[in-house]
């Protein structure tokens, strides 16, 4: 407590509290006044995280030195303990909370490319083409998430099907017997109008070697499902956070 009476430290704490308050007001203004929802991106929260961490650290440091701590919210004797035990308990709660986040139990991720990749692996046994409309780095990140999880899946297959690294490389690089469908990504840029984006996609698809599976992922333009040589998959598909998608099976017509 004496530490808090020091004028320099008190000024520092007020400064950090001001940073948190100012950040909160900025978030509120951008989200509810300008219509720019910063709350969707967890990365923006790191603006004020350092100040929050410092404030919490100072508070816990004061509690740690106390010989007797009693809850003011639950005014019963069972809630009394030493400061050290209270800090350790808080630390354990924070650790368990962090574990629920990294294990996808306590925090719903906005993007789940891992689920989409598992679905693609299940539904597609032909070469894969993934197309999206590209406006900002957001779409780039969405595709990077898919590519990273596909790379992870390939590594898992290699580790499972190969016992020795030399044999694994020989199988994968020489005769491609790993049964891994090749993947192409198509990003149609924002300078194109909606109809031009679709026409550009048609032209690209016509240059590809058939057959292949076309996955439209977060494709903002209207895509005609009656595309020549491509038929929409009418099966049931689960909802996946962050990704709206449609599967087409493309092959050369017999006529």
How many residues appear in the chain? Answer: 255
More confident residue, 10 or 230: 230
Whole-model pTM: value is: 0.64
Cα 98-99-102 angle, rounded to 5 deg? 90
pLDDT score at 168: 57
A 10 A CB-CB count for 145 gives 19
Quickly state the pLDDT bin for 2 (edges 50, 70, 90). Answer: very low
A 10 A CB-CB count for 176 gives 10
CB 218 within 8 A of CB 244: yes
Greatest mean pLDDT among 58-72, 124-138, 158-172 lies in: 124-138
pLDDT score at 178: 43
For the chain, how are helix, strand and coil distributed in percent, rounded to 5? Answer: 55, 15, 30
Tokens coding 70 = 């009693």
Q: Which residues are CB-contacts of 71 (< 8 A; sequence separation ≥ 6)?
A: 79, 80
The string of pLDDT tens digits covering residues 44-60 is 778 888 888 888 888 88
Averaged pLDDT, 195-217: 86
Mean pLDDT over all residues of the chain? Answer: 79
Averaged pLDDT, 224-251: 83
CB 206 within 8 A of CB 74: no
Pairing relationship of beta strands 128-134 and 230-232 according to DSSP bridges: unpaired
Quickly state the pLDDT bin for 238 (edges 50, 70, 90). Answer: very high
Residue ranges covered by each domain of the chain: 2-102, 113-250
Left if phi > 0, otherwise alpha if psi is -120 to 50, otherwise beta: which for 241? beta
């Amino acid at each position: 407590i004496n530490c808090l009476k020091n004028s320099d430290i008190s000024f520092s704490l007020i400064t950090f509290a001001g940073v948190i308050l100012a950040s909160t007001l900025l978030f509120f203004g951008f989200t509810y006044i300008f219509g720019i929802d910063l709350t969707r991106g967890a990365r923006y929260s790191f603006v004020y995280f350092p100040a929050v961490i410092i404030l919490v650290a100072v508070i816990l440091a004061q509690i740690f030195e106390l010989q007797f701590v009693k809850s003011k919210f639950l005014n019963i004797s069972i809630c009394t303990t030493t400061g050290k035990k209270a800090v350790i308990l808080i630390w354990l709660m924070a650790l368990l909370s962090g574990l629920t986040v990294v294990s996808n139990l306590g925090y719903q991720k906005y993007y789940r490319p891992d689920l989409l990749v598992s679905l693609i692996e299940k539904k597609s046994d032909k070469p894969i083409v993934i197309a999206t409309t590209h406006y900002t780095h957001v779409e780039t990140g969405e595709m990077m998430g898919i590519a990273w999880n596909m790379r992870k899946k390939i590594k898992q297959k290699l580790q499972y099907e190969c016992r020795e690294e030399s044999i694994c490389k020989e199988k994968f690089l020489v005769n491609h017997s790993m049964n891994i469908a090749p993947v192409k990504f198509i990003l149609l840029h924002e300078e194109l109008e909606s109809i031009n984006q679709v026409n550009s996609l048609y032209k690209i698809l016509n240059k590809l070697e058939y057959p292949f599976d076309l996955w439209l992922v977060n494709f903002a333009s209207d895509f005609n499902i009656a595309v020549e040589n491509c038929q929409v998959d009418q099966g049931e598909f689960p909802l996946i956070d962050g990704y709206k998608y449609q599967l087409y099976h493309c092959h050369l017509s017999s006529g």
